[in-house]
Structure 1
Amino acid sequence: MPSESLLFMVFLIFTGAAVFATLALYARQALIVSYIVLGVVMGPSLLGWVTDASLIKGVADIGIMFLLFLLGLNMHPQKLLRLLGSATIITGASSLVFGALGVVAGYLLGYTVVESLVVGGGLMFSSTIVGLKLLPTTVLHHRHTGEIMISILLLQDVIAIVLLLVLQAGIGHQDLFTDVGRLALALLGVCGLAYLVERYVLLPLIARFDVIQEYIFLLAIGWCLGLAELSVWLGLSHEIGAFVAGVALASSRISLFIAENLKPLRDFFLIIFFFTLGAGLDIKLLVDVLMPALALAAVVLAVKPWVFRWLLSNAGESPPRATEIGVRLGQGSEFSLLIAVLALETGVVRHQAAHLLELTTILSMMVSMYLIVWRYPTPIAVRDDLRRN
């Protein structure tokens, strides 16, 4: 396709995203939902203005790499060790409950065992974007509620990375354990190399040239993409390599600066990713799974807050705080969307199962947004007395 056509496609995406994002903000919705809806509207299923979503898929995948890189930057190894306690128990127990819920739902809908496992895996996580973006800054950084939510979400991220590793091996294949073992060794090798390069190359370079912000910016991008490419060469995925690259730099004093400066670049590519996701959705298949997705989303919205509330209350948290955290974490995750896409690409699930997981996630995020902005302080709260920046 000519470069002018690609440029026109980018124009459609970002101009349309600006319009749909404005509507989403008025409707108190997460912006990622508006990007997905825009993709559905402009994609082959409706208007057909973007008929070859695969053209920009490679660019879109960069957004996921940067997302995981930034998640890794926030996962200081010492912080992660401090989380090994009540947060681990809460995250592990809740993940088992939500995973079992998805497996049972998949079984009742007639999916294969593997497809049911993927649906269950996708329901294990809560949205980092919804959970943290709707927290006031003071709560996010200086209060116990923010600490608990960050702890749970970070540990969920670790579980998600493991699940992505299994999907990369191809769950359901006869040589699954061999493949997972091989990939686990590759992951250990990437982690070891990341540690050595970070300690003996990156940190000295950062210490010497940290006043040159442009250089630090380029160094971070090169490090992220370089380790991502190495991971692919070893049979892993770009996403896992980017995550390891972020964790390796998390202990550096410059990690906060890198995270803040990469956010606009990450958001640019994520808009394209979520648009591509929407453009790839088949309206006919969505109609086929609409009723099951509505029912499953309703179950997620009812069960997730209650499970988190019960676990947190038993861990010693006050009932009001436990209830609030449960509501804020009571939805599907952007990781669920990534799992659905990867499972479909690797042939692990059929389109119907992937669309069920995607639509359930989107619906649960939309309703959860309304519940949060109506009940708790957020930057986009409905009432003035609840609006907190």
Structure 2
Amino acid sequence: MLGFDNIILELSIIFVGSALLATIFLKLKQPVILSYIFLGMLIGPWGFKLINNPAQIEKISHFGIILLLFLLGLDLQPAKLIKLFKKTALITLVSNFFFMGIVFGILQIFGFTALNSAVAGIALMFSSTVICVKLINTNTLHHKYIGEMIISILLIQDILAILSIIIIKSGKLENAILDSLFLILKLIGLILLAYLVVKFLILKIVKKYDTVHEYVFIVSLGWCLLVAEIAKVLGLSYEIGAFIAGVSLAISPLALFILDRLKPLRNFFLVLFFFSIGANYDFLLTRNIILPGIIIVIVLTLIKPMVYYFGFNILREDKKISKELGFRLGQSSEFALIIAYTALQINIITDSTSYLIQFVTITTFIISTFIVMKKYKTPISLK
């Protein structure tokens, strides 16, 4: 385990390096998120080896994703969330299975086994919660609506991703169905518990001391981490738990205050998250799967925006909004890396398939971020 001095040294290297590289990227009018990923590649164990144990940084950085989902929940009323789910559920399910089929077909052409092709298809059919949300600008009504649509789609995908992991771990369809039903019951129970605790305990306590801003900050952060941990213990995920904690607090008039106070803390940990993505990536391991990987990247980059565009057009969504939704959802998900790791650990997929999933995921992160920041307004764009 890393000592305190090593952690401070590594954090100083990461943030000084991020500042320098981000300056170069901004001068070149490139997305600043990409500078964090490239820094990880540059100074990580596969680069100049200034950071030799990115796994430790990755564990710390996960707190940023938890905060990200918590803040999302704080900004979304429960009634509005249910309404959005009704609108986006069908298009999310249909499009995901379509993307899975495309990846499956490509890998079959290149001689991958049916099982390896299926797992890769499942892993690569989702979009990235972190990338999408980080690039949402909710300062105008137009982008606030787009943000809410994207969040509803991503949450449905997150649930599907967790169910996919359960199925992969179970090995048998019968066990997977039973586990999935129990998971849904646990999810409903957690939502109900969070609502009751907030309504009858937390809001009453905070109301008495809401003038003490530090107290409100501590209570809200403690609530976020508590529900996230409960969700993890129940077999869900930290992210879903944090989102439920946020939505349950969204009914409070203090939600916007909490939202504003936690943003800097979230940004600190997200820098570490994007750095760890780059630091854990080894180009040498992907050389044997580079051709199918590149083809899948190109196809997904082209197909995903088109599918979402036509899908939301069918739902009579505004064409401009449909197009923007398509581009913002045009990458693979961080869940792909978890699915690849899980499947590899229990020998369901080969090393080559795992490397292919990693290659496609990280490459689509980079391409999608570049496209979105060039075409649309984001919180970190130069415009």
8 Å CA contact 1:286, 1:355 repeated in 2: yes
Amino acid of the residue matched to residue 312 of structure 2? L
Question: What do residues 53-74 of structure 1 show as CA deviations (whole Å, max 9, x unaligned)?
Answer: 2333431222222222223333
Indicate how the Cα distance of structure 1 residues 54 and 84 shifts in structure 2: closer, same or farther if over 3 A, else same: closer
Aligned partners of 1:218, 1:19: CA distance in 2, in Å? 33
Question: What do residues 108-153 of structure 1 show as CA deviations (whole Å, max 9, x unaligned)?
Answer: 4455555444433343344455556556555xx312x652453143
8 Å CA contact 1:75, 1:154 repeated in 2: no
Report whether the alignment pairs 1:79 with 2:80.
yes
Deviation at 1:266, TM superposition (A): 1.5
Amino acid of the residue matched to residue 49 of structure 1? L
Provide the aligned C-alpha RMSD in A.
3.1
Query: Which residue is equivalent to 1:252?
Result: 252
Alignment match of 1:167 (pick from 165, 168, 179): 165
Q: TM-score, normalised by structure 2?
A: 0.84
8 Å CA contact 1:99, 1:121 repeated in 2: yes
Amino acid of the residue matched to residue 154 of structure 1? S
Query: Which residue is equivalent to 2:55?
Result: 54
Q: Secondary structure at the match of 1:357?
A: helix
Alignment match of 2:145 (pick from 140, 143, 147): 147
Aligned partners of 2:155, 2:341: CA distance in 1, in Å? 17
Q: TM-score, normalised by structure 1?
A: 0.83
Indicate how the Cα distance of structure 1 residues 49 and 132 shifts in structure 2: closer, same or farther if over 3 A, else same: closer
8 Å CA contact 1:28, 1:369 repeated in 2: no
8 Å CA contact 2:32, 2:380 repeated in 1: no
Aligned partners of 2:39, 2:61: CA distance in 1, in Å? 15
Query: Which residue is equivalent to 2:89?
Result: 88
Aligned partners of 2:108, 2:264: CA distance in 1, in Å? 41
8 Å CA contact 2:373, 2:381 repeated in 1: yes
Indicate how the Cα distance of structure 1 residues 365 and 217 shifts in structure 2: closer, same or farther if over 3 A, else same: same
Deviation at 1:292, TM superposition (A): 2.4
Query: Which residue is equivalent to 2:102?
Result: 101
Report whether the alignment pairs 1:226 with 2:226.
yes
8 Å CA contact 1:168, 1:237 repeated in 2: no
Report whether the alignment pairs 1:326 with 2:336.
no
Aligned partners of 1:345, 1:273: CA distance in 2, in Å? 23
Deviation at 1:79, TM superposition (A): 0.7
- Where do 1:2-151 residues align within 5 Å? 2-111=3-112, 113=114, 115-127=116-128, 131=132, 134=135, 141-143=140-142, 146-151=144-149
Deviation at 1:303, TM superposition (A): 0.8
Deviation at 1:204, TM superposition (A): 1.0
Q: Secondary structure at the match of 1:44?
A: coil
Identity, % of aligned positions: 35
Question: What do residues 291-342 of structure 1 show as CA deviations (whole Å, max 9, x unaligned)?
Answer: 3222111111211122122223333345455334433433334554565566
8 Å CA contact 1:43, 1:50 repeated in 2: yes
8 Å CA contact 1:206, 1:216 repeated in 2: yes
Deviation at 1:245, TM superposition (A): 1.8
8 Å CA contact 2:89, 2:156 repeated in 1: no
8 Å CA contact 1:164, 1:339 repeated in 2: no
Deviation at 1:6, TM superposition (A): 1.8
Amino acid of the residue matched to residue 103 of structure 2? G
8 Å CA contact 2:92, 2:156 repeated in 1: no
Question: What do residues 247-298 of structure 1 show as CA deviations (whole Å, max 9, x unaligned)?
Answer: 3223322222222221211221222222223222223213333332221111
Aligned partners of 1:247, 1:253: CA distance in 2, in Å? 13
Aligned partners of 1:327, 1:292: CA distance in 2, in Å? 22
Indicate how the Cα distance of structure 1 residues 232 and 137 shifts in structure 2: closer, same or farther if over 3 A, else same: closer
Amino acid of the residue matched to residue 222 of structure 2? G
Query: Which residue is equivalent to 1:268?
Result: 268
8 Å CA contact 1:30, 1:130 repeated in 2: no
Indicate how the Cα distance of structure 1 residues 82 and 136 shifts in structure 2: closer, same or farther if over 3 A, else same: same
Aligned partners of 1:264, 1:345: CA distance in 2, in Å? 36
- Where do 1:370-389 residues align within 5 Å? 370-376=370-376, 387=383
Aligned partners of 1:168, 1:238: CA distance in 2, in Å? 16
Deviation at 1:223, TM superposition (A): 0.9
8 Å CA contact 1:103, 1:116 repeated in 2: yes
Indicate how the Cα distance of structure 1 residues 170 and 40 shifts in structure 2: closer, same or farther if over 3 A, else same: same
Q: Secondary structure at the match of 2:330?
A: coil
Aligned partners of 2:255, 2:113: CA distance in 1, in Å? 43
Indicate how the Cα distance of structure 1 residues 258 and 19 shifts in structure 2: closer, same or farther if over 3 A, else same: same
Deviation at 1:218, TM superposition (A): 0.7
Query: Which residue is equivalent to 1:158?
Result: 156
Extract unaligned runs of 5+ from structure 2: none
8 Å CA contact 1:281, 1:355 repeated in 2: no
Indicate how the Cα distance of structure 1 residues 35 and 85 shifts in structure 2: closer, same or farther if over 3 A, else same: same
8 Å CA contact 1:171, 1:348 repeated in 2: no
Aligned partners of 1:124, 1:64: CA distance in 2, in Å? 20
